[in-house]
Copies of this chain bind each other. A is one copy, B any other.
Amino acid sequence: RKRILITGGAGFVGSHLVDRLMMEGHEVIVVDNYFTGRKRNVEHWVGHENFELIHHDIVNPIFIEVDQIYHLASPASPPHYMYNPVKTIKTNTVGTINMLGLAKRVGARVLIASTSEVYGDPEVHPQPETYWGHVNPIGPRACYDEAKRVSETLAYSYNKQEKVEVRVARIFNTYGPRMHMNDGRVVSNFILQALTGDSITIYGSGEQTRSFQYVTDLVDGLIKLMNSNYSLPVNLGNPDEHTIKEFATIIHEMVGKKSTITHKDAMEDDPQRRKPDITRATTILGWTPVVPLEAGIKKTIQYFQGELQRSK
């Protein structure tokens, strides 16, 4: 039984991780500033003796005693991270420095939630961890991509210099219940559009691809990685690749409503292809995603139906 800090634990991924770690009997401390997260995502644990919720912005130092840190705090969807680019960078630089400084002081192990965006608009496909990436340092996505890249660099610098134990997860597109309604990412947009009968908006041609992983698979991978002996970056994603066009059709058919599919302008620097090479995760962690797209999307549709009811 460990004392575990989860930064961004009131967010989408973080709250599912809280659930798993609480079920396993650990003491869990969540630190969140509620920028994109919500108390509601973890309210079922409030009052439990093993659970603590701290309202705090990680850009400021924090002094607590823990064994492990899952460092997830950061806006994750393009509209959210572009909303305040300066803050996005501060969270992923100063915030990450604070978490590594904390880990150094108390001897904790830190897992950094990195992203497939470190590969940018990739020229190698699928993307293995050895690929250096193709990122525009001054483009609209840079506040996220470059900040995440340097947060990996920080992790390995603290590791080399201060002997902080680090794990780096390069997370690929993830979806599931508790995604924010206004998240702006493709899964929530398409499902909500289909459910409300609005037109499903494809940005650009729709020929660009993504590979979607269900959130419980990711949580499984994060826990396996944290408790492994492997310290280099590990891709966590589902290699099941689809064009955004196909994906629109899948959602359209599963929801079964009469939405039309329309096209909007392409996003600047939108990565054209993305698919993880998960050889490392498979061979080193014995991890592989198990939830098929249809099953995951079904649960997510149910979740958003509930949310729409709620907000009526």
Where the two chains meet, the residues of A that have a C-beta atom closer than 8 Å to any C-beta of B are 84-86, 88-90, 93-94, 97, 118, 120, 132-138, 142-143, 146-147, 149-150, 152-154, 156-158, 160-162, 168, 232-233
Contacts and interface: CB of A to CB of B under 8 A. Distances in A.
For A118, A137, A162, which residue has the most chain B Cβ atoms within 10 angstroms?
A137
For A90, A138, A161, which residue has the most chain B Cβ atoms within 10 angstroms?
A138
A89 B162 CA distance: 14
A135 B138 contact: no
A146 B149 contact: yes
Nearest to A59: B97
A114 to B, nearest CB: 9
A160 B85 contact: yes
> 5 closest pairs, A vs B, by CB?
A85-B157, A93-B93, A142-B153, A146-B150, A137-B149
B146 A86 contact: no
Contact of A93 (B85, B94, B132, B162): B94
Contacts of A157: 85-86, 88-89, 143
Oligomeric state, in copies: 2
A156 B153 CA distance: 21
A90 B233 CA distance: 22
A118 B97 contact: no
Contacts of A146: 146, 149-150, 153
A152 to B, nearest CB: 5
Contact of A158 (B86, B88, B133, B142): B86
Given A84-B161, A89-B93, 9 more contacts: A85-B153, A86-B154, A89-B97, A89-B150, A138-B233, A142-B156, A146-B153, A147-B153, A149-B150
Given A120-B132, A161-B85, A138 B150 contact: no
A311 B41 CA distance: 66
A93 B143 CA distance: 12
A157 B140 CA distance: 9
B135 A132 contact: yes
Contacts of A233: 138
B132 A136 contact: yes
Nearest to A157: B85
Contacts of A142: 153, 156
A235 to B, nearest CB: 14
B120 A161 contact: no
A143 B94 CA distance: 15
B137 A133 contact: yes
A154 B135 CA distance: 15
A90 B85 contact: no
Given A143-B153, A146-B153, A147-B150, A161 B86 contact: yes
Nearest to A114: B137
A88 B158 CA distance: 12
A132 B132 contact: no
